[in-house]
Each structure stands twice: as C-alpha cells, then as structure tokens.
Amino acid sequence: MERCRVNQATIKYMRDKLTLTIGIPAYNEAENIRHLLLDLAKQSQNGYIFNKVIVCSDASVDETVHVAYSFKKLPVTVIVYSKRQGKAAALNSIIRKTSSDALVILDADVALKNRLFLSKLVAPIAKGEADLCAAKIDELHPKNFMEKMLAASMQYKRELFASINNGNNIYTCHGRGRAFSKRLYKVIYFKNSANEDAYSYLFCIYHGFTYRYISDATVWYGLPATLADHELQSVRFFQSRELSTAEFGEKFIREAYALPKLLTLKTLIRFTGKNPYIIPYLILPAYLNIKSQFMKRIHSAWAVAKSSKILRRSMTL
C-alpha cells in the first residue's frame, strides 16, 4: 500500500509540473548546435518536465542534421527542409509538432549562462503570470574595434531598455531566447522571418496576453566582427518595423517602439562616461536607417552574418 501511495504522489507531482519542449531553428549550425544541445542536457529541471528538442534545419548544407540526429543525451526530433524557407516557417513547423505546456525557442548560435536558465525563463509561465518571456542577452568578450563598438552600443541599449517598464517592452523581446505558453503558441502564426521576434511581442500584447522580460535568465551570443555583417542585421531591424503595420495598425506599432526622449538622452550621457566606444557608434544607426530605405526589401531566407556565428571558438580564445 505504501508503494502505491508513493507512486500516486509521484504522478500528481509530475502532473503539477510544466511540460516543456525546446525548438531550435537552424541553418548551417553544425559548429554550434552540439554545444547548445549539451547546454540543454545539463539544465536542472526545476519546475518543469522536459519533453523533447525539435531542431528544424532550414536546408542546411553542413553537418547540422547529422549532429542533431546523432545527439543521444536528449530526445531530439529533426525537421529537414530541402529548400530554404526561413525562420518563420521553421517556427511554424516546430509549433505544429509541439503539445507541451510551454515552448522555448532558442537560436542555434547561443550559449546558456548556467544550469538554471530554463527554470528561470519558464517560471512566470508555470505560475500563470506570463504567456511570453524573453531572456536577457549578453555579448561574448569583444576583440576587434567593430565588436567593441557594438558591445558598447548593446550595453547602453540594455541599460536603457531595462529601465523602461521594468524591461517589459518590445526591445527586450529578441529571437535568441524566448518561452511561449501553450495558449499563446497555439494561436500565433509567424508570417515573416525578418520581424519574427518583434512580431511575437506585438501579437502577445495586441491580443491581451502578458509579456515578461527575465533579467536573470541569460544567453550569450557573438557580435558581428565586420561592418558588412552588422549592416545585414541592422537593415533587417529597420525594415522589419514596417512589416506588422497592416496587421496591428500604425498607432500601435509607433507606441510599441516609442522611447522616452529624456530618459534616452540621460542614459546615453551617463553611459558615454563609462564606455567611450559608444561615441563612434552613434553615427551608424542613422546611416543604416537611411540605407535600409533604399535597399532591396528583406525576405524570409536572408543572407547570414557569418562572423557572429563563430560562437564557441570565440568563447575558448
């Protein structure tokens, strides 16, 4: 009888815990994805039950698929595209194969800070306090001038964005690490890869769901090492703001992206004294914003900024 009671208690305990699936869209990520899977295998499963990892290879031509298939420390499902379709399509494919209470989406070229990353990221969803959560991002140690300049800009932005509505704003919702509640991911459909991170926030808020920025769940990522690679990422950002206007309305989009001018200026002045590399960066956004208006419109399967992909190698240098 005692054994029976223990088993029933165990079953109840498991039912009370959040079930979790990890989705990883990937394009030519053989060098990084095994390390990310190892990071996931080392996670302390506090407050959730791990279901599976779904890797969606967007027509990778390297060993991404082989690495994902051969990983045995986690239950991994692999979706393979024969033609590139972009991140939005990969996210939709992952969602169709998911039934867990929560879905965490991770870029393949990130590293998790510690073993409690997933627990911290999904905690508000487990408690019923949020439907969409985004992790804090942190850059690997910059090496050349471009990386140091971009690192300074990111540190400034992180300080600014975290001070607006406790960090709960569109600027902290990025594609590198997010968690979705089941009630949110089952109704969202990603239409364009270029704005999929901002779109998730806009959809969440517009339809009455709740967003939370999780400052103690951190992912590391690599900065672009060249101006050309930074330009690729920046142009996507500037052009992506236009993509959701038809669905959500110009006023809603404008308010979502609005920044308090005085706070922005005060934060910039204060930060300039901390890191002078921010000064040469200041001319770049205006230049790239103007350039983005004359460039060919971005599409779902864009060119990849390769220098930001050399993640683990950078971590060991």
pLDDT of residue 297: 56
Strand duo 48-57 + 177-181: pairing? unpaired
> pTM of the predicted model, to two decimals?
0.87
Whether domain 2-306 has CATH 3.40.50.300: the reply is no
CA distances from 244 to 48, 88, 164, 196 (A): 33, 14, 22, 10
The DSSP symbol for 181 reads E
pLDDT of residue 237: 66
**H or E segment to which residue 53 belongs:** strand 48-57
Give the bridge partners for 18, in sequence order.
48
CA distances from 98 to 9, 10, 30, 95, 175 (A): 27, 24, 24, 5, 18
pLDDT of residue 9: 38
Domain-by-domain residue ranges, the chain? Answer: 2-306
8 Å CB contact between 46 and 22 = no
pLDDT of residue 282: 83
What average pLDDT values come out for the chain (317 residues) when binned by 10 residues?
39 66 97 96 95 97 97 97 96 98 97 97 98 96 91 94 97 96 98 93 98 97 84 67 90 96 95 90 70 56 54 49
pLDDT of residue 304: 57
pLDDT of residue 316: 47
Cα Rg for the chain, rounded, in angstroms?
Answer: 20
C-alpha 115/C-alpha 118 separation (Å) is 8
pLDDT of residue 290: 60
